[in-house]
Structure 1
Amino acid sequence: MIAKIIYGHTCRGTLDYILGKEGMQVLGYGNTFSQDISPKFFGSLLHFQGQRNATKNRYAHISLNLPHNEHVDDSTFFEISKEYMEKMGYGEQPFIVVRHNDTKHEHVHIVTTNVNDKGKVLSLYNSKRRSMATTSYLETKYGLEPIPRTKQQKELPIFRLPELKTDNEDTQGTRYYIQDVLNRILQKYKVRSFEELARHVQPYHIEIRKTQSTSGRVGVAFGLDNRQGYRTRFINGSQVHRQMSGPKLQWVFENHKKSKLLPMHRKRLLKQIETTYSLFKTIRPHDLKQVLKEYQGMDIELDIRRATIGEYTIYDKSGYVFREKELSKHLRMQERQDIFGNGNVPTQIDTQSKQFQLEKEKLIREAIQTSHLTSKQQKVLLSEHIETLRFKNIVPILLESEKHRFLEKYMSSEEKHTFRKNLKETFPQIQQKLHDTETRKEREALQGKFDLIGDVLRKGVFNVGATDGSVRHLFQALGVKYQNNKLLFASSDKYFVPVQLGHLPFPKNMQEHVSNGFVRQNHLMMEMLTKQETDILSKQSAISFFLPMVFPGLFERMHPDYKRQYESISLGAYLKHAERMHESFEKSPIDYIGFFNAKGFYFEKIDNGINIKSIYTDNSSSYKLPKRTSLYLNSIPDLETFLKQQHPVLENLIKTNRNSLENLWAGHLMELGQYERVAYLLTNENVYPNLHREVVEYHMDKGLSKTIQERIASKNTFQQNRLLRIGVYTKGSLLDKPGGNHQEDYNGFKDELTDYTKRRKDRGISF
């Protein structure tokens, strides 16, 4: 089921449309004193309540759309509509539900107001996220076909037109068709003029008529002409949609033209095309589209007129569309007859060009680096791997390379033979050059780690020393080791920095191996704490919150001041990740808090906002929520009283010994779909994930339950009975909902205005 929401400052036109449709059926009303009122009376009631506030978005027009060939009866559709409105925060607002049957998919229209009976506007926050979660919940409850929950690229059907009609005054179907096409085009492309927009909509049989008044105001109208006897009258842009009027479209176009990124994108395209031309001896004009796609990943369309190519249009990945004439004159096809003026001569690479030599070297370098990543001995440094490499080791990688296939595609048989021979001859030179480059980088990296360790020790970030050997925890957490008065990479003895520490004992409980990913994240964290650089702060990811779990011997010695700073930063990094994970489940601000509570996080209201804290960090450590998120949570009635209900959930986690980072890590892996690793933690380590019941059930159904059973079945006979008991207990524990059941109130809303300057995910709310 797909929900679409449109906000507006009037309701008369919307009600006239939905109630004037042939075959319409009023399914019922919400929050009115009777179901026997007339639509006209309801319209007056809704108009009166909405006019009690001067906000622009007084009214909401919502449509709930089922997939093709799916059917529900009237009473069920009305119940679905009422439950959707309740969970979206309209539980106390008057609304009407009208069913239409004018399309192949069944749908209802709901009209309500965003102004309550006291004249205040509902809190319109996160409506897109909540609508997605609510429709998903209703799909499960009523057995409806689910819609895709991931972003998809959809191409508009070029010949999908309204049904053939003779009455050119029937513009409603035309209006929605034009709105749908324009909406997707303006999301996909950064259009800069009405002329460019006209070219985009031409394949969909839409015509654009631009006007300008004596005062200079720009107007626009749209019409349909399928050149098969079906024409419509032109409709003003503001009638198609309020965001498609002439002035508003002109504003969008001007913003795109003034973007500081536009010259950068043009310069990049010029470089890409120039590089392509320098690689080829000849290019058959009709092959240019394929050549640029394979070599540069560029999408172009050729303007073919009577078997001749006039020019081409570039559809850049940035969203901008460039005509050939916008680029350098030197790069136009007509100006490059040395490449394109050879008739039907096959496209051929210039094997003597400088660009070809560069591509050959790049091909070898990439093959060497790929061989290191796929090597069984990944722990060695790249320079060490290069030293032991032979050309025969990279031959399979070369042959599988798309770039290698591309280059050979435009060579003769003789050139292919020479090319492969040259690769072998060139290999030693590239190998040595890459070895020297990597050697320099690795030396600098080791010296950088040494300098960072010095900064950390001087500033006292950790209370470690040489006497008890605890400084080894710091060395290990940064991917280095100490031996014989030398600091070396943990995985190699090739380089060293002299460090006169004498005999350095090993502390107890030293980890044998740590992940390189955690080492890199810890390195960034140490740099951030010592240098206070904001660009490093932006690189923190959710796994920074788990560093104390990976390096317990180090972080238990962290200075309290730095610890609070670290915990605040890592809380913020984890918050951003968790919000994305909760997106498809969250139906209200109460859900937002509930999902975090189940993970061991809680919220406290302060004078100027709301803080988030956790049971895994010090009680004084917190992260202040962004202003918009604070407003979202403040839409909960009597928030302070509600926040007190968090304590039983958290106390239950602590009471059941689920207040360790290992429990949060298990939930983190589950959310990422790492079911094999989760099953191992459950069956071998007795670590149970801290997650909300609804999320756990989703992953159990998605495949976790099956993975756990397979894990249990794979054990030997001696352990079978014990592991079966663990398996049953694991499932029961997973489905326990800590802290009891809270009644859910769905309040708060997010104002989703149509903004064609941004790409929206092709799901949930659309216009």
Structure 2
Amino acid sequence: MVVRITTGKSIRGVLRYNENKVENGQATLLMASGFLQLDPDHKEKLQRLDKLIKMNKRTKTNALHISLNFSPDDKLDADTMKRIATEYMDRIGFGGQPYLVYLHHDAGHPHLHVATCNIDAKGRRLETHNLGRLLSEPARKQIEKDYGLVVAEEQGHRKRFLLQPLEPVEYGKKETKAAVTKAVQEVLYNYRFTSLGQMNAILGHFNVTAYQGEPGSRMHEKKGLVYSIVDRQGNRVGVPIKASELYERPTLSRLEKAFERNAKRTLEFRAPLKETVSKALWPSGCMEQFRKKLSKEGVGLVIRQNGEGRVYGLTYIDFVNRCVFNGSQLGKGLSAKGVQERFAALSRPCALEGPKETSIETSLLNFIPSLSRTEILDLLFQGAAYEPVPYPLKRKRKKRRRPKL
């Protein structure tokens, strides 16, 4: 079982994300703990949690969004997942909080999303700092043992957690704002990235992009941001939507704060991803083979090119751990320049290919083009006709005696 904990400042956003999944048939409400009704409507859910949040206005980070991810090898029914969710929340100290458990069906593995807040009935803030290390990890390990789940550390086969293909947005088929909002929410809640370029690498799977405007333009100088649908060639189509008009308000200033938080959260995944990418690179002979091998390991490769078609950057998307890295972050050998140099070296003919004469002869043929083959062979073997005279047959030189004075 893999656990991911996300804290935020908007319980409305957490609820809206999960409720949208329910409306689209991609999730179901599994249980509602601490609510008067077993199946409360959206208004009741929001009022219950919002009432607690208003009891402590000093706490700004008050929303908690937890995902419990199981392996496809874990055959769990709804009742078992309810017990697991209840036991997990008890073990991390949130069992007395009202919380909602959603079962999502939008990935290749069963997983639960838990929405709650960290303000209790007395208006006190429940500590979330180091929650994952101090309480969540021991709880996860004990639950894995009690229920016989696949241990997170043993989930080496990354295919177990590969996501189903993302549903792209097609211009004209759905209302633009709703489609873009859904795509942006999917990326914000499920992926960790440290730059707008990395975010666009993921949004590209939805045929959506975030655009700052041309450098030097008024929008770029004012740090404006719009979201647009793109076609298969990556061209923006339709009317762009301002970031402030979307439900989550994913403006550039808010995203920059998320970039800083994600920089620390992604560190633990960099070394494993580097190892996976390196293993896929060495047997590959070209960029397309490299991309296919990475895809089998749950890693997406985004190739960044300029208008002339020259590759200037590579971005790796880890769909298993939901994080993004540029090639340069994984090392020089995995950057765009390093990968292209490797493929170029593989396609370059070897300097020693050709007739198998001798290594010395071949070197001379390569580096002294002005001489003919016959002249080179003469230079190599001309000493063979003049073997040295054995020492015993050498004539002794007479000593010259000095004349007596």
TM range, smaller chain: 0.5 to 0.7
1:361-408 Cα deviation digits (max 9, x unpaired): xxxxxxxxxxxxxxxxxxxxxxxxxxxxxxxxxxxxxxxxxxxxxxxx
Find out whether 1:88 has 2:30 as its counterpart. no
- 1:581-633 CA distances to partner (integer Å, 9 max, x unpaired)? xxxxxxxxxxxxxxxxxxxxxxxxxxxxxxxxxxxxxxxxxxxxxxxxxxxxx
Q: Is the 8 A contact 2:14 2:63 kept in 1?
A: no
How far apart are the structure 1 equivalents of 2:188 and 2:29?
26
Q: CA deviation at 1:119?
A: 1.8
Q: Secondary structure at the match of 1:44?
A: helix
SS where residue 225 of structure 2 aligns?
strand
2:46 to 40, 43, 47: 43
State the partner residue of 1:63.
Answer: 67
SS at match of 2:80: helix
C-alpha distance in 2, partners of 1:4/1:137? 16
1:118 is aligned to 122
Q: Which amino acid aligns with 1:411?
A: L
- TM-score, normalising length: structure 1: 0.31
1:8 corresponds to which residue? 8
Cα separation, partners in 2 of 1:44 and 1:27, compared to 1, 3 Å: same
**In the superposition, relative to structure 1, how do residues 160 and 418 fare at CA in structure 2: closer, same or farther (>3 Å)?**
farther
The residue correspondences of 1:277-296 to structure 2 (distance < 5 A) are none
| Equivalent runs, 1:176-255 vs 2, <5 Å | 176-179=185-188, 183=191, 186=193, 191=195, 205-211=207-213, 216-227=221-232, 245-249=251-255
Structure 1 residue 135 and structure 2 residue 140: aligned? yes
1:404-419 to structure 2, matched below 5 A, reads: 410-412=351-353, 417-418=359-360
Looking at structure 2, the residues matched to 68 and 78 of structure 1 have their Cα atoms a distance apart, in angstroms, of 17
Q: Distance in 2 between matches of 1:312 and 1:198?
A: 16
After superposition, what is the alpha-carbon deviation per residue over 1:544-590, rounded to whole angstroms, capped at 9, x for unaligned? xxxxxxxxxxxxxxxxxxxxxxxxxxxxxxxxxxxxxxxxxxxxxxx
Cα shift at 1:239: 8.3
1:114 positional shift: 0.6
Deviations 1:109-143, CA, capped at 9 Å, x for gaps: 32211112222211223223243443333233223
**Alignment-mate amino acid for residue 18 of structure 1:** N
> Helix, strand or coil for the counterpart of 1:90?
coil
Of residues 175, 194, 207, the one that matches 1:168 is 175
Q: In structure 2, give the amino acid aligned to 1:65.
A: N
How many Å apart are 1:162 and its aligned residue? 0.8
Q: Is the 8 A contact 1:300 1:312 kept in 2?
A: no
The one-letter code sitting in structure 2 at the alignment partner of 1:47 is D
Alpha-carbon distance, 1:82 to partner: 0.8
Distance change (3 Å), C-alpha of 1:213 and 1:143: farther
Evaluate the alpha carbon distance shift between residue 244 and residue 417 of structure 1 in structure 2; reply closer, same or farther with a 3 A threshold: farther
Q: Would you tell me which structure has more helix in proportion to its own residues?
A: 1
Higher relative contact order (Cα pairs below 8 Å, separated by 6+ residues) = 1
Higher strand share: 2
Q: Please state whether the residue corresponding to 2:212 is helix, strand or coil.
A: strand
**Greater Cα offset, 142-151 or 1-10:** 142-151
Q: Which amino acid aligns with 2:211?
A: R
TM-score after normalising by structure 2: 0.53
Residue 66 and residue 252 in structure 1: after superposition, are their counterparts in 2 closer, same or farther (change >3 A)?
Answer: closer
Cα 1:319–1:42 shift into 2, 3 Å: same
Contact in 1 for aligned 2:9/2:61 (Cα 8 Å)? yes
Cα separation, partners in 2 of 1:303 and 1:16, compared to 1, 3 Å: closer
Q: Is the 8 Å Cα contact of residues 183 and 203 (structure 2) preserved in structure 1? A: no
Alignment of 1:490-501 (within 5 A): none
Amino acid at match of 2:114: I
Report the CA distance shift for 1:55/1:68 in structure 2 as closer, same or farther (over 3 A).
same
Q: 1:196 to 1:125 in 2, by over 3 A?
A: closer
Structure 1 Cα separation of the partners of residues 12 and 32 of structure 2: 17
Q: Is the 8 A contact 1:178 1:206 kept in 2?
A: no
What is the letter of the counterpart of residue 8 of structure 1?
Answer: G
- Count of residues in correspondence between the two structures: 291
Work out the CA distance in 2 between the residues paired with 1:232 and 1:64: 37
- Name the Cα RMSD after superposition: 5.3
Q: Deviation at 1:86?
A: 0.8
Determine what percentage of the aligned residue pairs are the same residue: 22
Give the match for residue 377 of structure 2.
none
Code of the residue aligned with 2:352 in structure 1: it is M
Cα separation, partners in 2 of 1:412 and 1:152, compared to 1, 3 Å: same
Extract unaligned runs of 5+ from structure 1. 256-285, 291-298, 325-332, 334-339, 349-408, 422-767
